[in-house]
């Protein structure tokens, strides 16, 4: 792990623990990072947190929209009226993709920052800081699988309803 990857991990972990931005920046400076690099790491942590929130909210709204739509179709049976919550499905998908795009930008900024020499002095030991980093974009792959599965189920159900003549396209 490079020095800058660890500063981003530290900033994210402290932010997840509810520590204010100014305190995170002060702690990073105490660890020997320059004020510019510490401020940049805090800024990336803020952006990463916002991106993760957008992805979570978008995924939940999308899945809720699909579940409500499929549930109402299943309850109605043939020939009835059902609820198509297309607004929630579209909003959730857009919100999720917006968060994903933000997350990719943050990751690119972190990669660019790895070439920076960020310490004013030799690195001290990180005894009091957590060793593991927060979940990366790859560890939230389950959201993609869940959203994809929901979309496949929804599409299959709609196709079967059209085939049966219960829904007109």
Residue 127 has pLDDT above 70, yes or no: no
Residue 121 has pLDDT above 60, yes or no: no
What pLDDT is recorded for position 134? Answer: 52
Does residue 6 contact residue 126 with C-beta atoms inside 8 Å?
yes
What pLDDT is recorded for position 4? Answer: 44
Q: Who contacts 15 (Cβ-Cβ below 8 Å, separation ≥6)? A: 21, 24, 42, 45, 46, 49
What pLDDT is recorded for position 2? Answer: 44
Residue 24, CA distances (Å) to 20, 63, 119, 132 in order: 6, 35, 16, 17
What pLDDT is recorded for position 6? Answer: 66
Say which residue, 2 or 32, is predicted with more confidence. Answer: 32
Residue 33 has pLDDT above 80, yes or no: yes
Distance CA 4, CA 160 (A): 52
pLDDT band at 168 (very low <50, low <70, confident <90, very high): low
What pLDDT is recorded for position 126? Answer: 47
What does pLDDT average to over the chain?
78
Q: Who contacts 65 (Cβ-Cβ below 8 Å, separation ≥6)? A: 85, 86, 87, 88, 89, 91, 92
Q: Look up residue 131 and give its DSSP letter.
A: S
The pLDDT tens digits of the residues spanning 85-113 come to 889 998 999 999 999 989 888 888 887 77
Would the pTM of this model clear 0.75, i.e. be above it?
no
pLDDT band at 57 (very low <50, low <70, confident <90, very high): very high
The pLDDT tens digits of the residues spanning 139-161 come to 566 666 777 777 778 777 777 77
Residue 63 has pLDDT above 90, yes or no: yes
């Amino acid at each position: 792990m490079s020095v800058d990857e660890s500063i981003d991990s530290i900033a994210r972990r402290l932010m997840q623990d509810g520590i204010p931005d100014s305190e995170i920046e002060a702690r990073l400076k105490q660890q020997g990072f320059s004020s510019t690099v510490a401020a940049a790491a805090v800024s990336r942590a803020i952006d990463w947190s916002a991106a993760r929130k957008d992805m979570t909210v978008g995924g939940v709204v999308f899945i809720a929209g699909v579940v409500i739509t499929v549930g109402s179709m299943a309850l109605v049976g043939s020939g009835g009226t059902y609820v198509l919550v297309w607004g929630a499905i579209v909003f959730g998908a857009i919100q999720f993709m917006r968060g994903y795009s933000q997350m990719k930008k943050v990751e690119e900024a972190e990669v660019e920052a790895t070439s920076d020499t960020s310490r004013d002095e030799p690195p001290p030991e990180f005894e009091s800081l957590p060793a593991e980093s927060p979940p990366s974009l790859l560890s939230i792959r389950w959201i993609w699988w869940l959203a994809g599965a929901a979309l496949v189920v929804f599409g299959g159900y709609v196709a079967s309803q059209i085939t049966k003549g219960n829904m007109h396209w």
